[in-house]
Amino acid sequence: MAVQNTIKVAAQRREATLGFWEQAYIFEAVRGLWITTRHFVGNLYYHVLKLFGIITVHPLTPTIQYPEERRPLAPRLRTLHRLARREDSSPRCVACMMCETVCPALCIKIVAAEGSRPGVEKRPKSFDIDLGRCIFCGYCVEACPEDAIRMDTGILDIAAYSREGMLLDMDLLLSLQPAQQQTDKEVDRLQRLLLK
């Protein structure tokens, strides 16, 4: 009963704000049809132009055809991690465990080993990131004293068919490039690699 009263009151209030012509509905319906038809005709005009190659970008449709077209990413956007290398292509990482310690999601696992050359006492034997746990907070990047771990690959669409697939090992992390230096082909290759 209370619900019915509420509905009735709401209906009365709404009807009070509608004039006679609005309540007659047909004119409002025609007005709505006029708006959609205007959009239809305008969009169709540009679609036909585009179909015949006269224009390349549809000016009224904001759709981005995602896998083929991508929006530009902000440079400081946190995307998939990578491990940077030194100039002699050895990993910059010195296995100091800072990132593993700071990581709130506990997704980084580092196994340290003896450094292989003078001046570098430790090196990572393995460096695994479990993306299934990672929350992309970026603390690891901030914590790293060697600027070894970075999140600038520009790879956003991370997916895998299993939990094991979300585990990234050191070889993979070292092979990733910053977004600016990647060609589309490399992005494709890396995505396939990730999916495996």
Partner 1 sequence: MNPVVYWTSTIAKSAYILVFPLTLAFFLVWAERKQSAVMQDRIGANRAKFLGRPFLGLVHMVCDAVKMFVKEDFVPDGPHRILHTLAPFLAMFFALITFAVIPFGYQLTIAGETIGLQVADLNVGILFIFAMASLGVYGMVLAGWSSNNNYALLGGIRASAQMISYEICIGMTIIGAVLALGTLSMQELVIQQGHHYFGWLPRWGVVLQPLGFLLFFTAGVAETKRVPFDMPEGESEIIGFNLEYSSMKFAMFLFTDFIETVLIAAVTVTLFFGGWQIPWLANTGFVWPWGGDWEMHPNVVNILRMAAFAVKVTFFCWLMMAIRWTLPRFRYDQLMDLGWKWLLPLSLANIVFTALAVWFVR
**Interacting residue with partner 1 among 5, 12, 17, 36 (CB under 8 A):** 36
163: β partners: none
Question: Are 115 and 125 contacting, i.e. CB atoms less than 8 angstroms apart?
Answer: no
Residue 48 binds partner 1, judged by CB under 8 A: no
Binding mask 60-79 for partner 1 (x = CB under 8 A): xxxx-x--------------
Q: How far is the CB of 14 from partner 1 (least distance, A)?
A: 12
Residue 4 binds partner 1, judged by CB under 8 A: no
Most distant pair of Cα atoms in the chain: their distance: 89
Q: Give the end-to-end CA distance of the chain in Å, rounded to a whole number.
A: 60
**Interacting residue with partner 1 among 33, 135, 156, 159 (CB under 8 A):** 33
Question: Are 46 and 55 contacting, i.e. CB atoms less than 8 angstroms apart?
Answer: yes
Q: Which amino acid is at 65?
A: Q
Question: Are 86 and 115 contacting, i.e. CB atoms less than 8 angstroms apart?
Answer: no
Residue 118 binds partner 1, judged by CB under 8 A: no
Q: How many residues line the site for partner 1 (CB under 8 A)? A: 19
Residues forming the site for partner 1 (CB under 8 A): 25-26, 29, 32-33, 35-37, 39-40, 43-44, 47, 58, 60-63, 65
